[in-house]
Amino acid sequence: MKKHITEADLTQLVSVTNPQYSPDGKRLAYVQTEVNKELDAYDAQIMVYDFEKQKSVQWTFEKGRNQHPRWSPDGSNLVFTSNRDETEQVYLLNINGGEATKLTNIPHGVSQPIWSPDGTQLLCSVRLTKDESATDKQKQKLKDDQPVEIDTISYKVDGQGLKRGAYTQLVLINRETGEVRQLTNHERDHHSYTFSPCGKKIAFCANMMKLSGARVSDVYIMTLATGEIKRVTTQSGAFSSLSYSPDGQQLAFLGHQQEFKNATIQKAWLYNVNDNNLQCLTEMFDVHLSDVVISDSLIGGELPHPIWTKDSKGFYTVGTDNGSTGIYYISTEGLVYPIRIEKEHLNGFCLHPDETGFVAAIALPVWPSELYHISFDGIIKRLTNANQAFVEGHMISEPEEIQFETKDGLTIHGWLIKPTQYEKEKTYPLILQIHGGPHVMYGHTYFHEFQVLTAQGHAVIYVNPRGSHGYGQDFVNRVRGDYGGADYEDIMGAVNYVLQQYDFIDQSRIGVTGGSYGGFMTNWIVSHSNKFKAAVTQRSISNWISFYGVSDIGYFFTKWQVGADLFDDFEYLWDRSPLKYVDQVETPLLILHGERDDRCPIEQGEQLFTALKKRGKEVKLIRFPNASHNLSRNGHPKQRTKRLQYMTDWFKTYL
């Protein structure tokens, strides 16, 4: 008999991600991540699917995170990273078996190795301060009471904490000797790196602007023999995901020129190595080329760089559209067409070496992530069954798509999930879910939190209001400068639409919750409407004025998104702050906040709690020690479970 889904069931979910074909196409390496209940952590293991035997075999067994598998060019070895010895290091496995060999012993830890074309070297990244070197035998130890010197505006990152002057540098590791060669030493982060097919050059992304706080990411090419660096983009955009064509003549990457700041749709670009020509291939294509679907069932996903065809005439990449993610082909002449775009969350893929098909990691609304082989003639086969036991053992409610028109002519798209044991003639409470970002997207994917709520007898509605990705450039840009305006109307309009269309909803029992931007909107809603009988605000924003100086992104986000700088229009920021309107709040409010949230720092929740409590309002604050902004997605399993329990208990009490 199938069971109801509970908060604790999130520990049963398995993440299947990062598929990588072997060069001969006979094997497929991937990462399988599960909860380690004993350690209150996650174990990620390297799995290998054998196409001849049609089954998967586990290749790593050490506890911790074994991830980022990459086959050697000749297919004889597989490298991966592992934190089994405290710091993350590179390990090598021979396909004929045996124990993994530790290739690096860098005290700072090593990330994301990629092979040189000849298989003799590995290009990796290491976090170092200006006083450290990748060849150091010991890492500088910092005491908790040691002062931290700060001289840059970007001095902390959510989930990482204080940077302490450390930046991501690139290093080469000799496959045979383990010798380390540090390639970069600028006080800047270097990322999205790749080898040229000849192996004589690498390309990478970095922000080399001297202006403190400049938000750019340029593409650079380095000649390995001399260390000479050449910039190929314009110091005005944000680029990443680099990939050389097989003939070495072209470099493809994704990004934009920040025409709409961080609300700009990501496009495909092409740099011609020979004539030094840079062009945007998808200028007229109104689809965001990345995966921005928000979910709480995936751990450790990794988006592939553009994947070229052998003839160097085009490449494949992921795109986000209308609640779905899929694969698009883009030719070097700028022709774009979808290879696969279904009602699903395709969160990673790899192309078969003979280019007859691909393997994709796909999550469905009623089935968490698995690997699927999809041939170009349309035949699809599921390769893994990591979540089969969970799916077959639980009652999972299938979302129903909804859409309605706004007063100004936009179409708002979303979903309604009925209670798991829905019965006609009965009425049920409704819970509105609001996503963060705001430039992400709810989609056709499994969302555990929603299933927990429906299992407890609630209906759940979630929509993509203006500001969400997936519906074109104009749509995603419309929220900027109007937080709490038309976006508020979109969200409230969704609730009104559902109340009109579905008579099983008890209009006297409606709740609302959301995190980050969704937390801001939850705060805004309860301070501007008494429609809701219970609310849970998570990792929220209540005061744009203080947010400016305490968030890791506040110094630019406030201007780019809310539409005003602290010193240009103080009153406007205060007018858009929910804290200003606390006297109007009548809805019982639960505040959930991580104490190490550097994106929306906990002082945002504290201010709101204090103001409401002082006025005698019904409010409670729950603090999660050491939790960052991503608590609900990749925080400690026990805290994630407890967070869900606090939420469901609040709705049980007040709905």
Catalytic residue set: 516, 629
Measured CA to CA, the distance from residue 350 to residue 338 in angstroms comes to 16
Residue type, 517: Y
Q: What are the DSSP E strand ranges found in 86-213?
A: 87-94, 101-102, 111-115, 121-128, 156-157, 161-162, 167-174, 180-182, 190-195, 201-206
Beta strand spans in 145-286 (E): 156-157, 161-162, 167-174, 180-182, 190-195, 201-206, 218-223, 229-231, 238-244, 250-256, 267-272, 277-280
Strand, coil or helix: 494: helix
Which among 268, 292, 285 has a CA at the least distance from the CA of 470? 292
The residue behind tokens 């934009």 is 256
Neighbours of 389 (CB within 10 A): 11
Radius of gyration of the chain (CA): 25
Residue type, 470: G
Return the sign of the alpha-carbon dihedral for residues 597, 64, 91, 348. negative
3-state secondary structure of 475: helix
The Cβ of residue 47 has, within 10 Å, a number of other Cβ atoms equal to: 22
Residue 216 to residue 546: CA distance in whole angstroms:
25
Q: What's the longest Cα–Cα distance across the chain?
A: 76
Contact 511, 535 (CB under 8 A): yes
Nearest to 640 by CA among 4, 2, 12, 3: 12
Instruction: Output the 3-class SS for 437-456.
Output: CCCCECCCCCCHHHHHHHHC
Query: What backbone torsions phi and psi does residue 362 show, to the nearest 5 degrees?
Result: -130, 130
Peptide bond into 438 cis (omega under 30): yes
Distance CA 655, CA 653 (A): 6
> Under a CB-based contact definition with an 8 Å cutoff, are residues 546 and 604 in contact?
yes
| Spatial separation of the C-alpha atoms in residues 427 and 413, rounded to whole Å | 24
Burial class (CB in 10 A: 0-12, 13-18, 19+), 488: middle
**CB-based contact 564:543 (threshold 8 Å):** no
